[in-house]
Chain A
Amino acid sequence: MISANLSAIFYLISGILFILALRGLSSPDTSRQGNYFGIAGMIIAIVVTFFSVGNFSTSLVYVVIFLLIGGAIGAFIAFRIPMTAMPELVAGFHSLVGLAAVFVAIAAFLNPEAFNLGVVGGIKLASLIEMSIGAAVGAITFSGSIIAFLKLRGIMSGSPITFTGQHFLNLILGIGIFVLIYYLCVSQSANIFWSLIMISFLVGVLLIIPIGGADMPVVISMLNSYSGWAAAGIGFTLENTALIITGALVGSSGAILSYIMCKAMNRSFVSVILGGFGADSSSDNTKEKKDQKPVKSGNAEDAAFLMKNASSVIIVPGYGMAVAQAQHALREMVDKLKKNDIKVTYAIHPVAGRMPGHMNVLLAEANVPYDEVFELEDINNNFANSDVAFVIGANDVTNPVAKTDPKSPIFGMPVLDVEKCKSVLFVKRSLSPGYAGIDNELFYKDNTLMLFADAKKMTEDIVKNLD
């Protein structure tokens, strides 16, 4: 058994290692090293906990066994998961953090002596508040992430589920949580503690169901943030520095990502939370404006011809590329183009895909060097002096309406200036609107050639035609 002071210092060290882990992500070169820092921090925290409790009886054997069971499951998932499924994986992992926080809070509530928080029925007031906050946030994270997981996985429809009085109900339940925490502090009653957790589960579900599929990047980031705050709440209860530092880091990380995502969609955080976006709001304006405008459509041969004669091509990938698993075919196409001395770069909109950085991972998986991949603000000026823009699976993020029509729901959203290219190749299954439910003006421009097909099949056909 080691002293509380010594273990606190080790927890501080593991907290610092976690900071370095995030710091490493500032560039791909240092990121792998950063990940090792994170692993080291985790090992230190776990080993120190074993020594600080100092119980080396049968319990420890079971702890190690359960640790290895979980570890084996986790490792299995990590190696098997396809990169296109990263958003659901992350949502699933968030739910586990949330549930773990709930379980730890329950354990602390049932056996406060083990955590040095007082006795059953006489838990210290501050600890009680901290653990109820940890449990409530953890429960919201859990059930919210489950819903996000189901939506991303396609088990549940991605369209928003709304009903009248929804926000009012959420408000009541939110207030209810605080009232319950108050009564819990007064009475120390176990029943109130259970009700608190149940209501929090319900709030998590109600919070996420009205949010549509296109807002998923915000939701995932937000849940990421919640999982951090839940960890911090538990960290305060356990008086554990490593947990407090980590909770704060993760909480602010998720909050920043949510902010970046909201900004990239020109939506306020509140309006995302209130939900209902992308349901049916704009079907009427589609009808009145665009009745059968002419669209130029082409085939793989035309596309290959256009690109062969170009000197620079910019590729704009989107969620459709992920769905069709077209990233490897795309890479093949780019290799062919490069052999013909055509300059190829990739342009990525911050909300392309279903989570922050989703497209970058998919391109990296297909062996695309990361220094050919550019963010919106770095590449947007290059469209004007490029020959071909190849839009594959993206839609709303290229819609020029965002710049021209103040009535459009996406007005003001930063978009890629694809239409400034000499010609635009747009791979899409049909003319149907994207998630925002609005027509893309780009389809009807003179310099746009629509390629109606599955993204992967079309790309493969183009590859054949490039020979």
Chain B
Amino acid sequence: MEIDPFIFRLSIFILSIFIGYYVVWSVTPSLHTPLMSVTNAISSVIIVGAIIAALAGSSESVFDISSIFGFLAIVLAAINIFGGFLVTQRMLQMYKKKKDKKK
């Protein structure tokens, strides 16, 4: 009997939770705020679904009710992607060691 592809996706999901568990415990507490902003940025990879929905329209009707939701989701996810990565970058630039104390 063949295995349903869903089971494979579920396996990926469960294994990723374990990876996440170990990776996140090794994050230093002083970087917990950047951790939140970067997880926020990467969870916006949901934009993939938004793009699929938005591209579903044809040349004659770019905007139908389903693709409109896609376009809206693109804007929201894009705010998050750019905002999330850039603000993380801004924060990480500020973390300096004692040596390069002099600006």
Contact = CB atoms under 8 A, between A and B. Distances in A.
Interface of A: 11, 14-15, 18-19, 21-23, 25-28, 31-32, 34-35, 38-39, 41-42, 45-46, 49-50, 53, 55, 57-60, 62-63, 66-75, 77-79, 81, 83, 86, 89-90, 93-94, 96-97, 99-101, 103-104, 106-108, 110-111, 113-115, 126, 220-221, 224, 227-228, 230-232, 234-254, 256-257, 260, 348, 350, 355-358, 360-361, 364-365, 367, 369-373, 375
Q: Is the interface of B mostly helix, strand, loop or mixed?
A: helix
B39 A224 contact: yes
Contact of B20 (A46, A68, A251): A251
Given A67-B75, A73-B75, A96-B80, 19 more contacts: A27-B28, A38-B38, A73-B82, A79-B90, A89-B37, A93-B79, A96-B77, A100-B76, A103-B72, A107-B50, A107-B69, A107-B70, A241-B9, A244-B12, A247-B13, A355-B33, A357-B30, A372-B98, A373-B30
B50 A364 contact: no
B54 A66 contact: yes
A356 B78 CA distance: 25
B20 A371 contact: no
Contacts of B101: 367, 369
Interface string B41-79: 111111111111111111100101111011111111111
A78 B69 CA distance: 25
Interface residues of B, number: 85
Most-contacted residue by chain A among B39, B48, B65, B80 (CB, 10 A): B39
B43 A364 contact: no
B12 A241 contact: yes
Contact of A75 (B36, B71, B82, B95): B82
B20 to A, nearest CB: 4
A249 B39 CA distance: 8
Given A248-B16, A253-B20, A66 B75 contact: yes
Given A79-B86, A100-B44, A108 B30 contact: no
A371 B95 CA distance: 9
B37 A93 contact: yes
B13 A46 contact: no
Contacts of A50: 51, 55
Given A42-B41, A100-B80, A58 B62 contact: yes
A100 B30 contact: no
